[in-house]
């Protein structure tokens, strides 16, 4: 098994949940990150059974609620939250951020009751207006720190935060709060659809080894989840994509990454 690696289903957009689970097993990837659409498509109970039968851990669930699932084993560790941008018709970023904080406050008791941790994800500032008004790890962390550590953590996605001069300091400050670590690369030029511009680890400009080392030094022992939104990755055969994901992770961001630097691993 490849230590800390997890494959997010968004990386293999064309596969059903069952096919994605088989792919992980075939490529010795021990965990899977799920998106709600795939879970809804399969049905929650069937999705849980599929993942369990494959022996996979669910490293995260993106943007929805596994909250009410009765089977604790089938629950994701973390529910990733993308907070939303400006309120329609408003230009008041402060108001948007206050609404996000209020919503987290309302969700926390539910999450605690069901043993799921909320993961606040900062999205790249280019998504601030229309998708997420939390633009830096520092801001996600400041918000998470208002709540108990077991209820609210942060999601660190290299694509969204790599550029930040305060990243190393913010990761250190996030010790005990890192709920998920996601990886994909920043490739230029960005495509017309900005959401699809992400690359395999090593294909772009992000320096992964130091970031992985910082995440591990902050005490994170969870999976490193590779989530790539890319038409090119989606058009490639899934086995090729999975092999590339695993190879790049091991060479550039995993326990045996170059330089002997310790990196995130379970």
Between the alpha carbon of residue 151 and those of residues 144, 179, 228, the distances in Å are 9, 10, 27
Q: Which is nearer to its own copies, 24 or 161 (CB)?
A: 161
- The footprint of its own copies on this chain (CB under 8 A) covers a number of residues equal to 30
Using the rule CB under 8 A, is 139 a contact of its own copies? yes
Q: Which is nearer to its own copies, 53 or 129 (CB)?
A: 129
Q: Which is nearer to its own copies, 57 or 136 (CB)?
A: 136
Between the alpha carbon of residue 184 and those of residues 42, 85, 168, 255, the distances in Å are 26, 22, 18, 17
Using the rule CB under 8 A, is 125 a contact of its own copies? yes
Token pair belonging to 95: 């108001």
User: Is 173 exposed, middle or buried (CB count within 10 Å of its CB: 0-12, 13-18, 19+)?
Assistant: middle
Q: Which is nearer to its own copies, 77 or 139 (CB)?
A: 139
Q: Candidates 71-79, 87-95, 170-178, 220-228 — which segment interacts with its own copies by CB under 8 A?
A: 87-95
Cα–Cα distance, 227 to 122 (Å, whole number): 15
The residue from 25, 86, 196, 243 that contacts its own copies (CB under 8 A) is: 86
Helix, strand, or coil here: 206? coil
Determine contact, residues 265/255, Cβ cutoff 8 Å.
Answer: yes
The residue from 102, 130, 235, 239 that contacts its own copies (CB under 8 A) is: 130
Angle of CA points 45, 75, 12, to nearest 5°? 80
Determine contact, residues 121/155, Cβ cutoff 8 Å.
Answer: yes
The residue from 72, 188, 259, 260 that contacts its own copies (CB under 8 A) is: 188
The residue from 38, 124, 198, 246 that contacts its own copies (CB under 8 A) is: 124
**Span between the terminal Cα atoms of the chain, in Å:** 11
Least distance from its own copies to the Cβ atom of residue 163, Å:
4
Using the rule CB under 8 A, is 126 a contact of its own copies? yes
Using the rule CB under 8 A, is 164 a contact of its own copies? yes
What string marks each residue from 207 to 236 as x (binds its own copies by CB under 8 A) or -?
x-----------------------------
- Give backbone dihedrals phi and psi of 61, rounded to 5 degrees, phi first: -125, 125
Least distance from its own copies to the Cβ atom of residue 183, Å:
14
Least distance from its own copies to the Cβ atom of residue 122, Å:
10
Least distance from its own copies to the Cβ atom of residue 154, Å:
15
Using the rule CB under 8 A, is 115 a contact of its own copies? no
The residue from 148, 163, 172, 261 that contacts its own copies (CB under 8 A) is: 163
Taking each helix axis as running N to C, give the angle between helix 93-114 and helix 137-144, from 0 to 180 degrees, rounded to the nearest 10: 50
Token pair belonging to 198: 């992400």
The residue from 9, 78, 135, 230 that contacts its own copies (CB under 8 A) is: 135
Cα–Cα distance, 256 to 265 (Å, whole number): 10
Nearest CA to 64 among 87, 37, 33, 103? Answer: 37
Judged by the rule CB under 8 A, the positions of this chain that interact with its own copies are: 86, 91-93, 97, 124-126, 128-130, 133, 135-136, 139, 162-165, 186, 188-192, 194, 204-207
């Amino acid at each position: 098994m490849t230590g800390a690696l997890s494959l997010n289903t968004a990386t293999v957009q064309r596969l059903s949940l069952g096919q994605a689970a088989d792919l992980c097993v075939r490529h010795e990837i021990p965990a899977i990150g799920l998106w709600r659409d795939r879970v809804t498509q399969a049905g929650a109970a069937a999705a849980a059974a599929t993942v369990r039968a494959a022996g996979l851990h669910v490293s995260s669930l993106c943007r929805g609620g596994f909250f009410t699932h009765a089977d604790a084993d089938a629950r994701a560790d973390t529910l990733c939250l993308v907070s939303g941008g400006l309120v329609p018709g408003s230009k008041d970023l402060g108001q948007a951020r206050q609404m996000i904080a209020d919503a987290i406050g309302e969700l926390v008791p539910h999450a605690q009751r069901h043993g799921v941790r909320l993961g606040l994800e900062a999205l790249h500032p280019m998504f601030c207006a229309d998708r997420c008004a939390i633009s830096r790890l520092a801001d996600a962390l400041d918000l998470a720190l208002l709540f108990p550590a077991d209820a609210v953590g942060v999601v660190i996605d290299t694509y969204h935060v790599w550029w930040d001069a305060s990243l190393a300091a913010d990761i250190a400050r996030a010790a005990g709060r890192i709920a998920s670590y996601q990886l994909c690369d920043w490739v230029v030029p960005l495509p017309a659809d900005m959401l699809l511009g992400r690359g395999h680890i090593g294909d772009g400009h992000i320096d992964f080894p130091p970031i992985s080392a910082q995440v591990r030094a902050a005490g994170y022992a969870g999976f490193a989840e590779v989530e790539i939104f890319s038409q090119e990755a989606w058009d490639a055969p899934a086995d090729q994509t999975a092999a590339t994901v695993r190879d790049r992770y091991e060479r550039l961001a995993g326990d045996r990454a170059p330089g002997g630097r310790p990196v995130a691993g379970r």
